[in-house]
Chain A
């Protein structure tokens, strides 16, 4: 069943067209990665899907869920660097997604937060301050928060951009488990083409418009893929080092991307 359907989506801001006429759909249980160069509209696309940027044209349809039930993992912000908040306090904010106004959290919401913290292995830090955690631990906390908000769809914006290779590998392991064992659909923006190819089952290649949308092995025969990995590299590069990329390689330097688009 289609969970998410995007039809002719166009996003303009400041008189520029950041995303043009993009259409695709995600089925339940998909694991999709959005790749593309800097400024290709990847982040804008997901920000529009979660409702941070208004669409100028086109439609985003969700089946069996509402927009606020998307579990979103945004790019990290400067505010969080010195923010005094315990891990529990942060995770609980995910429960606000149910949209019912209450001045206090219910018992069920607290249980849900506990369950998600246990699932992501952050229970030992429950009372610790968010700002004292390592980058990988922080991402796990934010994932737990996102999972409090959703049962179906996670949208992640460059989840590994600030992580070192070992922790990146660990994070992708968690995402794979959530996808396979819990059936959570994942849509992830990635600046790391090799990790995207290794982890995801579907690739969306953005270059303002959607240049490619389909299975990973089909993507590897496209000119977009060759541009992303650099012409000098053999086409089978990604197959070759299949198990090493996330730990051994950073992004291809020519295409690496610092974060914000």
Chain B
């Protein structure tokens, strides 16, 4: 045990690990909060789609020699609005359109990256994330984004709940549901772009979906689900980061697997509770 603690204290003495920890905890918190609304409103695939679009945008920024996030953020936010619009026009097969948009962005991103830098570690770290990729600027940006997400979430907690639970009633009683949808997708886009560096294009969306689903297995009130998903999300991230370091495993994949274990555990607890 003392060996573990010693290794962990070494772990957190590295600057890049400290940055990964700060970014990871904040992104986990935001992803958990946004995930609840996205999952409950059947928008789960938007997170996945956005990360793919974000990847395409990062690849294009790299080719053009532009600041990666300065390109990725506006493009992803625009894509979020577009996906929301597709989703609201039910008759247009919005889910299929989102799938096409997402996979096309991914394919274009892979082609661009492969033709400029070759299929190398760069691509690998984009796809599966890398704790080495977090720069000081990323950290500052993630702090800003997280503060904005958390503040807006607390401020608009009740109307967001109302819109999520029953959009028609909320609209009828004067809550502008479409504005909250825009807010939600915009914040999701920001969170996805910030979290992508750490978790990778392919593994950021579980961070959004898992905590909400996990919490919903056991908790029955909205507030319970909100608190529980924030706590499990941060804990899973932290445990995942430590485990990945101790056993030299890829960080993003480890965090997702810890989330999976947590989800399965909560599923069992929920099932036992229901029968007893």
Contact = CB atoms under 8 A, between A and B. Distances in A.
A132 interface: yes
A93 interface: yes
Contacts of B167: 77
Interface in B181-225: 215-216, 219-225
B12 interface: no
A70 B169 CA distance: 10
A149 B175 CA distance: 12
Interface in B150-178: 154-159, 161-162, 164-175
Given A85-B221, A86-B221, A79 B159 contact: no
Given A79-B41, A129-B220, A52 B157 contact: no
Interface residues of A, number: 37
B40 interface: yes
Contacts, number: 96
B42 interface: yes
A72 B42 contact: no
A84 B222 contact: yes
Interface in B134-155: 154-155
Contacts of A80: 165-166
Contact of A132 (B155, B162, B220, B225): B220
Contact of B165 (A67, A85, A132): A85
| Most chain B beta-carbon neighbours within 10 Å: one of A67, A85, A99, A131 | A85
A249 interface: no
A114 interface: no
A74 B173 contact: no
Interface string A81-112: 01111100110111011010001110000000
Interface residues of B, number: 32
A72 B222 contact: no
B221 A68 contact: no
A68 B172 contact: yes
Given A80-B165, A85-B165, A89-B223, A103 B158 contact: yes
B44 to A, nearest CB: 13
A80 B220 CA distance: 13
Given A51-B171, A96-B159, A99-B174, A129 B165 contact: no
B220 A93 contact: no
A79 B42 contact: yes
Contact of B161 (A72, A85, A103, A146): A85
Contacts of B221: 84-86, 89, 127, 129
B32 to A, nearest CB: 14
A84 B220 contact: yes
A158 to B, nearest CB: 13
Contacts of A79: 40-42, 164-166
| Most chain A beta-carbon neighbours within 10 Å: one of B158, B172, B175 | B172
B222 A85 contact: yes
A208 interface: no
A92 B174 CA distance: 15
Contacts of A194: none
Contact of B168 (A67, A74, A86): A74
A103 B165 contact: no
A1 B200 CA distance: 64
Nearest to B173: A97
B154 to A, nearest CB: 6
Contacts of B159: 96
Contacts of B165: 79-80, 83, 85, 90, 93
20 contacts: A51-B171, A67-B174, A68-B172, A68-B173, A70-B173, A74-B166, A77-B168, A79-B42, A84-B220, A84-B221, A85-B165, A86-B220, A93-B158, A93-B173, A96-B159, A96-B174, A97-B174, A103-B157, A145-B169, A146-B169
Interface of B: 40-42, 154-159, 161-162, 164-175, 215-216, 219-225
Given A51-B172, A79-B166, 7 more contacts: A79-B41, A79-B165, A84-B215, A89-B223, A97-B174, A105-B158, A127-B221
